[in-house]
Structures are given as C-alpha cells and as structure tokens.
Amino acid sequence: MTYSARLEFKPSGLIGISDKQIDEHWKLYEGYVTQTNNLMKQLADLREKGEGTTPLYLDRKRRFGFEMCGMLVHDYYFANLKAGVSDASAAEFKKLVSGKFGSFEKWKADFIATATTRGVGHAICYMDPITGDVNNHFIEMHSEGHMPGFQILLSCDVWEHAFLIDYAPTERMKYIDAFMANVNWDVVEERTIACFGKKASPRFAL
Ligand SMILES: [Fe+2]
C-alpha cells in the first residue's frame, strides 16, 4: 500500500483563501503523505530485522499515527473545499444536524465555535453510521481525539499554517468565515448519505 496526494482534488479559486495559501498548505499535506509511506516502510523493515519491540520501533510507531492521521484529515479537508457550492445541495446533512442541534444554523454556530478552540487542530463534524449520532469535535495534533468508528462529514484545519499567508495569527475567525464560505456541500452531502447506508464516508470528491 502506497498513499498519494490526490492532486485532482486540490482546491483553487476559493473566496478568502488564496491559491498561494492552498499551494503552501498542499506542500505540507504532501509531506504527511511522504512520511506516512516512509514510516510504513521503516516499520516493516524493523519488524523484518526482528526489531519490532525496540524503543526505536515504538517511537516510529507513535510518529506514524501523527503522520498518517495528518494525511487523512487533510484528504478530507481539501476535498471538502470548493468555490461556489451552495449549501442548498446538503439537504440530508441539514436534516441530520437539525435533529441534533435544533437547526442547520445552530449546528453551524457550534462548528465555528469548535474551530475557535485554542491550540492547533481540526474542527471535525463526525457521524456515527451505527447510531446516526452527529457531533462537532476538536482534534488536536492530527491524532488526538478522533472518534473510533465515526465518519468524517466535514473537516476544518485550524492550524495556523492553514491561514497564515492570508491572515494574521489573531485573525483565525476571518479564516474560519472564509472556510465556511467555500465548503463543498456536495461532498458533505455525499458523505452523509454514505453514513446513512452504514458505509465509510468517501475521503475524496467522486
Ligand atoms: Fe494542515
């Protein structure tokens, strides 16, 4: 298994998030992909050499979680950004979050609040395909706080590297507003419908 950055889904022409910002962020994403592949090989090589219980192996294993989760949350992040997609296309998603939060607008306010959590991380709207529960979570350091078995419907990267070219560190809110104005609601809807069918939510736009 070798992973790759899915260039065909790289967003461009967004409102309030420049192509230069996306280019730089994409390079970091490619770094997570490269490190995921490198670490998979390093870990396999160490196991092959009978060093699968060494401190070096276990340290690499911990790093592997950070890098691979970094790759995966960025898969979701870039695929759920696209210019000019109206939230009118997310009818099932709206119904889902309205059931939990009272309305789409109340869900959105909670998602935005989640994204303002101090520290580096991702605001992620998760759905449990088993129970149908949906919630917004703050995932720190790519790998801390994920909901096992839940599926990602929407991922917003709020590490400063996601917006520092366009905004000052104190202007995260402006970036979050720009993110919300560029959500690919078609993909969010597709992920939601997949979860209703108890299937994995597609990381990429299809
Ligand atoms: Fe990022």
Ligand 1: centre distance to CA 28 (Å):
7
- Per-residue pLDDT at 16: 97
Secondary structure (H, E, C), 18-37: CHHHHHHHHHHHHHHHHHHH
- Per-residue pLDDT at 204: 65
- Per-residue pLDDT at 8: 81
The rounded mean pLDDT for the chain is 94
- Per-residue pLDDT at 143: 84
Ligand 1: centre distance to CA 148 (Å):
21
The residues, ordered by sequence, that sit 6+ positions from 128 with a Cβ below 8 Å of its Cβ are: 134, 147, 149, 150, 151, 195
Closest alpha carbon to 162 in 30, 12, 23, 34? 23
Q: Report the SS3 class of residue 79.
A: helix
Ligand 1: centre distance to CA 99 (Å):
30
CATH topology of domain 18-79: Helix Hairpins (1.10.287)
Rounded CA separation 123/156 (Å): 5
Model pLDDT for residues 36-68, shown as the tens digit of each residue: 999 999 999 999 999 999 999 999 999 999 999
Low-confidence ranges of the chain (pLDDT < 50): 206
Model pLDDT for residues 107-126, shown as the tens digit of each residue: 999 999 999 999 999 999 99
Ligand 1: centre distance to CA 94 (Å):
26
Tell me the domain boundaries of the chain: 18-79, 87-196
Ligand 1: centre distance to CA 87 (Å):
24
What DSSP assignment string belongs to 115-179? HT-SSSEEEEEEE-TTT--EEEEEEETTTBS--TT-EEEEEEE-SGGGTTTTS-GGGHHHHHHHH
Ligand 1: centre distance to CA 25 (Å):
6
Ligand 1: centre distance to CA 160 (Å):
8
Which two three-digit tokens encode residue 201? Answer: 């939510």
Rounded CA separation 89/96 (Å): 14
- Per-residue pLDDT at 203: 72
- Per-residue pLDDT at 205: 53
- Looking at domain 87-196, its CATH class is alpha beta
Alpha carbon 145 to its chain's center: 13
Asked whether 133 and 127 are in contact (CB, 8 A), the reply is yes
Asked whether 134 and 177 are in contact (CB, 8 A), the reply is no
